[in-house]
Amino acid sequence: MNIPVGIEVVDSTLFSSVDPVVLAGSMCEACGAHVFPAMDSCPTCSSLDVTKVSLPTEGTVWSWTTQHFAPKPPFRTDEFAPFSIGYVDLGPVIVEGWLVGKTEWTIGEQVSLVLAKAWTHEGAPVFTFGFEAVT
């Protein structure tokens, strides 16, 4: 995968592309189940015949919460502020991730995938994936 110079991500195996941002999952050739992050076996039917796939980048909020206290380590942050986490229905799979840009959400709301700054490491930002509201 091509990661642009100067962009560091929390785990490169989560992405099939960083610019534009696309998540990498896997699809079972036997039963069609999609999972994220990619696995080398299928937890639904136990098949080993799985293929890495790019996941859709737009979906709807399936559930959400806002985290009002700082999680214990290994959580990393520059400075804690309440943040939202949600499950986003991407169609073939529902993915858990940050919901960025606000802390009040509505189930069913349209969102799209973005890169979001997670923390600073040696002066440089480290990014994870998140979803922001489609305006």
Partner 1 sequence: MSVNANDIFIVGAARTEFGRFDGEDNELAETAVRGALADCGLVWSDIEFAVGGTNGETKPDNLVSRLGLTGLPFVTVKNGCATGAVALMTARNGLIAEDLNVACVVGYDNHARGAFNVSPARYGLGDWYGATGMMVTTSYFALKIARYLHEHGISQRTLGYASAKAFDYAQEHPYAWRRKPVSVDEAMDADMINDPLTRFMFCAPDAGAVSLVLARGSKAYDLCETPIRLASVALRGRRPGSFEVFSPWLSPGDRTSPSIDAAKAAFDLAGMTPADVQVAQLQDTDSGAEVIHLGETGLLAHGEQEAAYRNGEFEIDGRLPLNTDGGLLANGEPVGASGLRQVHEIVRQLQGRADGKQVPGAPRIGFTHVYGAPGISACTVLISEGAQ
Binding letters toward partner 1, positions 88-107, x by CB under 8 A: -x-xxxxxx-x--------x
The CB-of-94 to partner 1 minimum distance in angstroms stands at: 4
Residues 49 and 32: their CA atoms lie apart, in Å, by 10
Binding letters toward partner 1, positions 15-54, x by CB under 8 A: ----------x-------xxxxx-----xx----------
Which residue in 19, 29, 76, 120 binds partner 1 (CB under 8 A)? Answer: 76
Q: Which long-range contacts (CB under 8 A, 24 or more apart) does 120-128 make?
A: 120/78, 121/8, 124/6, 124/8, 125/8, 126/8, 126/9, 126/10, 127/7, 127/8, 127/9, 127/10, 127/18, 128/9, 128/10, 128/14, 128/97, 128/98
The CB-of-65 to partner 1 minimum distance in angstroms stands at: 4
Which residue in 22, 30, 85, 114 binds partner 1 (CB under 8 A)? Answer: 85
Task: Give yes or no for residue 133 binding partner 1 (CB under 8 A).
Answer: no
Interface positions with partner 1 (CB under 8 A) = 10-11, 13-14, 25, 33-37, 43-44, 62-69, 71-77, 83, 85-87, 89, 91-96, 98, 107, 118-119, 128
